[in-house]
Structure 1
Amino acid sequence: MAMSKPGTQDAGQHYLVCNTEGCQSNCQFYCKACLKVMCELCRDEHLKNPDNKKHKVVPYRQRRLHLPKENCKNHPTRNIDMHCDDCNIPLCSQCCTMEDHLRHKLVDLETIYYENCAECQGKIRQIYQYFIPTSEELRQETKADTTEIKKIMDDIRTSMKAEGKRLKKLVEKVILQKIVGINDVEKSITAMLQNQGKIYEDYISYLKDVVEEFSGYLSSTQLLGNPMISTMSGHLTINSIPQTTKPFPPVFTPGQFSEEDVSKLLGTVNASKYKQDNRAIKPMETLKPTDQMKQDEKKSDVKQTLSLSSFVTKVKEYTGVRNAYHISLGKSGSGWVSDDDGNLVQTDLQGNALQKIKTSSEGTGYHTVTQDMDLMYADRKKHVIKRITMDNKVTEFIKTGDWEPLSIHSSKTNGDILVGMKKDNVARVTRYNKTGREIQGIQRDNKDQKLYSNPHYITENINGDICTSDISADAVVVVNKSGHHRFSYSGQHSRFLPWGICTDVVGHIIVCEGFFGNRAVHILDEDGGFLRFLLKEQDNTFPYSVCIDDGNNLHVGTYLTNKVTVFKYLQ
């Protein structure tokens, strides 16, 4: 698929509504910092805000980012418009014909520029849509904690004074000492919270500086030395949101009155012995996608804590479906397992059948469970995707026309539906949104070669990659979210027939190989590197299907048995 240029407006769209909430006016302007369209009135209000004083707002027609024009030093009459990946330098078209760059990989500079612009704009969106609002929420939380701590300390003071009244003059003498201690505790906690508030204020200020820096990349008119024409990995780094601890309020312990030990009678106020909890920072994937921004973020916190275990441990197994060709698990403790005869069975984790559906599909990954716990499955004969809700209401959700749907996967990040399909000798992967509207078709690579032959299993990785098992291509084919081919994995032997496929929270790609003597489950990293075999030739079974549950356990369905076995493989 050709990459669209940043900021282009859809053909035939003559009226664009202002992005300001509650405003339905026609947009006339575009803020390059916020990446929002706005009407004239909202533009004026936007620029009045002190936080936006450095924002550049331009007429909507001038919103596009263009590759800066710069003459080649070696050929002054030519503009620099190409990039040599081998030499990592920009060139003009005449330089490309010189002997120094023969057989080098040359890339259109405008393509690199637009891709980096899009990445830079995405980072700016993240700052405005996630980092700043999240940091502000945390700052406000510290204020609320300060108020709460003050209230708790006031309650403790009141309790202590009530005790003191009963002990008259002797109590009054001791209670003054206790009040001093309480004030010290409050002062210490308040100082800590104020310091945390200052940390987030400084971080928000830093984020605004980063926005200014990234905006500078976008508005630069220089080409040489401009990071927008080369890799941006070292320039688009955003420091993580600072982690602070949430205070645990002190607890007042009432004492028993006696003249011998007034201090004990009045009780004690101690700082909490409990471990202070880190403040909850909402993950980026909780952001709702908008027309201009859809966030996807790797679960890096999970990556830092989970890795492949040295040993694979069998957790349990359940029975009920012979020849388990595909498994779809939901969050309700039940799942769907299909066989090679069109039977789709819902079972609990003990293997008890809850319901059974007869379908026209068999031997592929033709069903999935959505974010709403609905079942979706492909009807290969009727060329439709059917949806069954929790109350067993059946609808024809998507009609695929002349294309025969083979495999289906519901995205866990945004609810998109990915469908592998074929027609005659042509195959493709189609993306639909949650309403069933087609939004993407993936069929060929950047060399116009076909990507797929028979995508009979499909899944999505945590980085947005679309991973398919292609039984006719003898490979696992992986494209990125934009549909660009990243890599193909062809196994570890001369012949490789991939079957069931899934990914885990660490980004591993897990795929079954059930034929030609290997009979193993392959584990790859998210870039296609082979890591290890799991369950290689175990018990003379043929692993056909794999699925990950919420506990990060691997469910493996096998051919010629009625068992699904659950393994723990991460530590």
Structure 2
Amino acid sequence: MAYSELQVPDTAQHYLVCGFEDCENNCLFYCNPCHQPLCEQCRDKHEKSPDTRNHEVVSYRHRKNQLPVEKCRDHPTKDIDILCDECNVPLCSKCSTLLVHKGHSFTDLETIYTEITKIMDSIRTFMRDEAKSLKTLVDEVTSDNIEQVNKMEGSIWKMLHSQHKTYHDYICYLDDLVKKFHGYLSSTQLQNNPIIFPLTEHLTIQSIPDTATPIPPEFTAGRYSKEDVVKLLGRITVPQTKPEKTNLKAMEIASTHIKPTGKQMREGRENSDVKQTLSLSSSVTKVREYGVPGVDRIQHITLGKSSSLWVSDYCSNIVQTDQKGNQLQRIHTKDGRYVGNLTITQDGDLIYTDKHNNIINRITLDNTITEFIKTGDWTPLSIHSSRTNGDNLLGMIKEGKGKVTRYNKTGKEIQNIERDNKGQELYSYPHYITENINGDICTSDLIKQAVVVVKKSGQHRFSYTGQGSEFYPRGVCTDRLGHILMCDIYSNTVHLLDQDGQFLCLLLKQQQGAWSPCSVCVDDEDNLIVGQWKTNTVTVYKYLQ
């Protein structure tokens, strides 16, 4: 809108100025590495310069935020730019030289900020990819529907054309009949012939052909809301775990003693101790082997409280044993049907899949069996209860399709994972499932012949398809180092990967007793426990040192 001199408002909005020296043009762009606003002319120069031509220049509204500068209260001339890893406290360079931080390790805040920025960027990219995949699916469905309408329209036109031809042929028949009668009537021999009158009385004319009015199709619009779209695209949420607070007092004088909390020290020691002390052994040693009483053929094993082992079979039995194989208790399911996979919740309850009734049953500490989760039309195959947050992960199938669904502690559905960011189906038969130390969800899929690994958000990381032409993965578990261990019933082996999907070795082979391995777990002493599906045998191996 143009203003006349009298209409010009007495207030004006400030505009951003280009960051180049002596340039006062309006800022439209931003260089992320330089953290500098640019006008259009200076942007062109910036992109042509040998020193900056590879810099990421974006529109100003899409710029990356710069790490804010904060001065140290104890050293006002210094910027707070590092983090003490042991104390979890931001510091300036001078604070880091104090006695209380002697021997501590430090991380540049810019590095932490960059890592967080990368995470946020990856979330944005993933969300855009998900939206793009959904748009592609919408276009495909719309195209299929339009093609179906076109076929229906062609069928109706074909029907109408056939009826038109039928009427046209009948009209031609009547025309020929009329001409024939006119010929008879115009004949001089028949004009006064009385025979013509009884002839007309006995004349038979073909009836009008039957036709039908075509019924056009109707379109029933789908019912959906914004919430339905949100469920398809997913939500961005903050994990329920609260950030750890530091119980540290401000540094009033240089001699102040700063100590990390006991929890911080324990967690730090545990994490570092595991990485420093645990490693793969040069060889695998069999520790013990025993048969599980009361079990026919092993279907699934999971670790219980006090290093006990829970075992399900292909009948209706669930057995708990101690480390030596002595039966602690045996539970016969209420309907006497096949027991699926099982897991122990954070509350100590046992939950297992019931594929015949599409439910998850809970067995409380007093051995009462109750319904916990109803999965509707989806048949549950695999289940794992997270040790970190208590969520329950279910692998399910319906009409040849598979998915992984996350439920919270109370059984409320909170996440569905079905496709990758290209719209391809991730699962066909998610038979066994577990969670890694970094939150990844690891699922063995018998039909896809792969172990599929996705992030906690559901983003596909990688799929492992074995080392040979055939690979039929069954049981899958992880250890404290983030290793992924899986059974291959085709080659009678146990494969070992790192948490990024890199193949490390065939941990167990048939020669080492890996006969028909179907389920695996790692106990509290970092031993690998393997259950055999052809027998009731459980074998324990030492593979870490």
Query: 2:509 aligns to what SS in structure 1?
Result: coil
1:489 to 464, 471, 474: 464
How far apart, CA to CA, are the structure 2 residues paired with 1:216 and 1:452?
34
* Alignment partner of 1:398 is 2:373: yes
> How is 1:117-132 mapped onto 2 (pairs within 5 angstroms)?
none
Q: Deviations along 1:85-134, whole A, 9 cap, x unmatched?
A: xx9863679xxxxxxxxxxxxxxx97x969x99xxxxxxxxxxxxx9999
Query: 1:303 aligns to what SS in structure 2?
Result: helix
Report the Cα offset of residue 73 of structure 1: 6.4
> How is 1:192-207 mapped onto 2 (pairs within 5 angstroms)?
199=100
8 Å contact kept, 2:508–2:514: no
* Alignment partner of 1:551 is 2:532: no
Report the Cα offset of residue 420 of structure 1: 0.6
The residue type equivalent to 1:529 in the other structure is Q
The aligned counterpart of 2:291 is 319
The residue type equivalent to 1:333 in the other structure is S
The residue type equivalent to 1:349 in the other structure is Q
Report the Cα offset of residue 507 of structure 1: 0.5
Q: Deviations along 1:355-406, whole A, 9 cap, x unmatched?
A: 1233677585x21012222101111122221211212233322221211111
The aligned counterpart of 2:234 is none
Normalising to structure 1: TM-score of the pair? 0.52
Structure 1 residues 380 and 197: alpha-carbon distance in aligned structure 2, compared to 1, 3 A threshold:
farther
How far apart, CA to CA, are the structure 2 residues paired with 1:495 and 1:454?
16
8 Å contact kept, 2:432–2:475: yes
Report the Cα offset of residue 279 of structure 1: 8.2
Report the Cα offset of residue 352 of structure 1: 2.9
How far apart, CA to CA, are the structure 2 residues paired with 1:496 and 1:218?
38
Report the Cα offset of residue 303 of structure 1: 2.1
* Alignment partner of 1:421 is 2:396: yes
> How is 1:404-415 mapped onto 2 (pairs within 5 angstroms)?
404-415=379-390
* Alignment partner of 1:306 is 2:207: no
8 Å contact kept, 2:339–2:352: no
* Alignment partner of 1:282 is 2:263: yes
Report the Cα offset of residue 340 of structure 1: 2.2
8 Å contact kept, 1:136–1:200: no
* Alignment partner of 1:336 is 2:317: no
How far apart, CA to CA, are the structure 2 residues paired with 1:455 and 1:560?
21
How far apart, CA to CA, are the structure 1 residues paired with 2:518 and 2:116?
49
The aligned counterpart of 1:464 is 439
How far apart, CA to CA, are the structure 2 residues paired with 1:113 and 1:421?
41
The residue type equivalent to 2:342 in the other structure is H
Report the Cα offset of residue 282 of structure 1: 2.1
* Alignment partner of 1:533 is 2:533: no
8 Å contact kept, 1:331–1:550: no
Query: 1:332 aligns to what SS in structure 2?
Result: helix
Q: Any unmatched runs of 5+ in structure 2?
A: 1-31, 48-52, 68-82, 90-95, 124-245, 247-258
Query: 2:263 aligns to what SS in structure 1?
Result: coil
The aligned counterpart of 1:350 is 324
In the TM superposition, structure 1's runs of 4+ consecutive aligned residues that sit over 3 Å from their partners are 67-77, 87-93, 131-137, 195-198, 200-204, 213-219, 226-231, 278-281, 283-287, 297-301, 359-364
* Alignment partner of 1:524 is 2:497: yes
* RMSD between superposed Cα atoms in Å: 4.5
- Larger mean CA deviation between 457-466 and 322-331 belongs to 322-331
> Which has the higher Rg, Structure 1 or Structure 2?
2
The aligned counterpart of 1:152 is none
Query: 1:199 aligns to what SS in structure 2?
Result: helix
1:445 to 415, 420, 430: 420
How far apart, CA to CA, are the structure 2 residues paired with 1:555 and 1:437?
32
Query: 2:306 aligns to what SS in structure 1?
Result: coil
8 Å contact kept, 1:379–1:405: yes
Query: 2:539 aligns to what SS in structure 1?
Result: strand
Query: 1:377 aligns to what SS in structure 2?
Result: strand
8 Å contact kept, 2:474–2:518: yes
Report the Cα offset of residue 196 of structure 1: 13
8 Å contact kept, 1:479–1:487: yes
8 Å contact kept, 2:289–2:540: yes
Report the Cα offset of residue 407 of structure 1: 0.5
The residue type equivalent to 1:316 in the other structure is R
Q: Any unmatched runs of 5+ in structure 1?
A: 1-66, 81-86, 94-108, 118-130, 138-194, 220-225, 232-240, 242-277, 288-296
How far apart, CA to CA, are the structure 2 residues paired with 1:346 and 1:558?
16
Report the Cα offset of residue 230 of structure 1: 9.8
8 Å contact kept, 2:317–2:339: no
The aligned counterpart of 2:453 is 478
How far apart, CA to CA, are the structure 2 residues paired with 1:450 and 1:514?
24
How far apart, CA to CA, are the structure 1 residues paired with 2:532 and 2:437?
26
8 Å contact kept, 1:476–1:488: yes
Query: 2:287 aligns to what SS in structure 1?
Result: strand
Report the Cα offset of residue 559 of structure 1: 2.7
8 Å contact kept, 1:360–1:379: no
> How is 1:181-220 mapped onto 2 (pairs within 5 angstroms)?
199=100, 210=109
The residue type equivalent to 2:444 in the other structure is S
* Alignment partner of 1:90 is 2:56: yes
Normalising to structure 2: TM-score of the pair? 0.54
How far apart, CA to CA, are the structure 2 residues paired with 1:426 and 1:214?
40
